[in-house]
Amino acid sequence: MTKLLMTLILLLFVPQVSAEGIEALSITTNPDGSQEYSVTLQVLAIMTALSFIPAAVIMMTSFTRIIIVLAILRQAIGLQQSPSNQILIGISLFMTLFIMGPIFNQINDQALQPYLKDEMTSIQALEQAKEPLKAFMLSQTRIKDLETFAKIAGYDNLNAPEDTPFIVIIPAFVTSELQTAFIIGFMFFIPFLIVDLVVASVLMAMGMMMLSPMIVSLPFKIMLFVLVDGWGLVMGTLARSFGLGV
């Protein structure tokens, strides 16, 4: 999977690299017979493209929605450091691989494997790799967001969403993911908010106003979350929000 991601990034951001290979080192002979060594611009472009891997994983997959929902859920329960950020990021990454698995398989079959077998050029592989990812992003992007960024970029005469350039789809997709993540997070937040309100009302009625309602409500919220199989509900909801199992 890591090899697939790295190759995809290279195809997306370094399409000018030819299938014949890359000259990693150039040697220049000076008039006095000495030699100078320099790294070619192609290698520099590849190393720069590798730095885009985290941004691509975050902004072009389901990662953004998942990590935001999990962070809101942790805040709603009232747990500041549990689960830790590392655990939330790990869960989000593996959930992303699960949700994006069919998309990665399509890219592997249609673009990566033919490219590695020299059956198509890097440009052709790039175009083939874009299609499954573009279809996924469009399926999760609101038309309003797509029209907004298309208008900003000057694409006012698009006949269909599929005609939208990739550079316009990415910000529209991220905006839609943020909107969807906050909606799902809000729905998860409501039950825990009700528990906090009930506990605060009971404590006030008992005259225990100096006792923090968060301390008293925390065990009840954890118990509620466990009784309703909270983690299974959250993961299932996130997967179904992308159309899986529907």
Q: Domain limits of the chain?
A: 100-139
String of DSSP letters for 131-162: HHHHHHHHHTS-HHHHHHHHHHHT----SSGG
pLDDT digit string, tens, across residues 192-205:
889 888 888 888 88
How many Å apart are CA 65 and CA 173, to the nearest integer? Answer: 11
Give percent of the chain with pLDDT exceeding 90.
13
The confidence score (pLDDT) of residue 45 equals 66
String of DSSP letters for 101-142: HHHHHHHIIIIIHHHHTTSS-HHHHHHHHHHHHHHHHHHTS-
At 141, list the tokens: 């992007």
Q: Name the nearest CA neighbour of 112 among 219, 220, 9, 227.
A: 9
| Span 27-52, average pLDDT | 64
The confidence score (pLDDT) of residue 107 equals 85
The confidence score (pLDDT) of residue 1 equals 53
More confident position, 46 or 157: 157
> Which residues, listed in sequence order, are joined to residue 39 by a DSSP beta bridge?
25
Q: Under a CB-based contact definition with an 8 Å cutoff, are residues 108 and 132 in contact?
A: no
How many Å apart are CA 98 and CA 85, to the nearest integer? Answer: 20
> Is the backbone peptide bond immediately before 213 cis, with ω within 30 degrees of 0?
no
How many Å apart are CA 181 and CA 118, to the nearest integer? Answer: 41
pLDDT digit string, tens, across residues 228-244:
888 988 998 888 888 76
pTM given for the model: 0.76
How many Å apart are CA 52 and CA 136, to the nearest integer? Answer: 20
Residue 26 DSSP label: E
| Span 35-57, average pLDDT | 67
